[in-house]
Amino acid sequence: MRIGIATDHGGFELKQRLVERLRAAGHQITDFGAHQQTPEDDYPDFVIPLGLAVAAGKVERGIAVCGSGVGACVCANKIKGVRACLIEDNFSARQGVEDDNLNLLCLGGRIEGPELAWDLIQTFLQAKFSEAPRHVRRLGKVASLEALQNVK
């Protein structure tokens, strides 16, 4: 699978470990940074390019990591076509994709350890959107909010 990944200083070490494991598992990785540990960096500088790539289909799924995962999630969800969520359990990782077509997983580099993060990512990547009519209907309603943002 083509996967994009991004982080700021708060998730830098976790991202480095995850990139290695994702590549070893055979995934094609696009690393949007950070590429060095810089305490003054800002998560939007890395999450925005990741989110744009997810929305454009340049990557199939995205993974964003910041200190808590919250800032990355807020940022990613401002991009039309991105459905991001802070995930801390396997049920939500699977159900978020199956029911809500989640396409960008957010993690906290200071919250989840590498083994839990890897487990959540595997669940997220293995899940498929159900395309059930009720979920498609609900996502249509959510997507209509994006159109409202363009109305002044």
Burial classification of residue 142, based on how many CB atoms lie within 10 Å of its CB (0-12 exposed, 13-18 middle, 19 or more buried): exposed
Q: Contact 34/8 with Cβ under 8 angstroms?
A: yes
Query: By C-alpha distance, which of 128, 129, 92 is closest to 107?
Result: 92
**Catalytic residue list contains 66:** yes
Query: By C-alpha distance, which of 118, 138, 130 is closest to 5?
Result: 118
Residue 61 sits at φ, ψ, to 5 deg, of -145, 155
At 54, is the secondary structure helix, strand, or coil?
helix
CA torsion through residues 59, 65, 70, 72, sign: negative
Q: Contact 40/69 with Cβ under 8 angstroms?
A: no
Give the active site residue among 66, 73, 85, 106.
Answer: 66
List, by residue number, the catalytic residues.
66
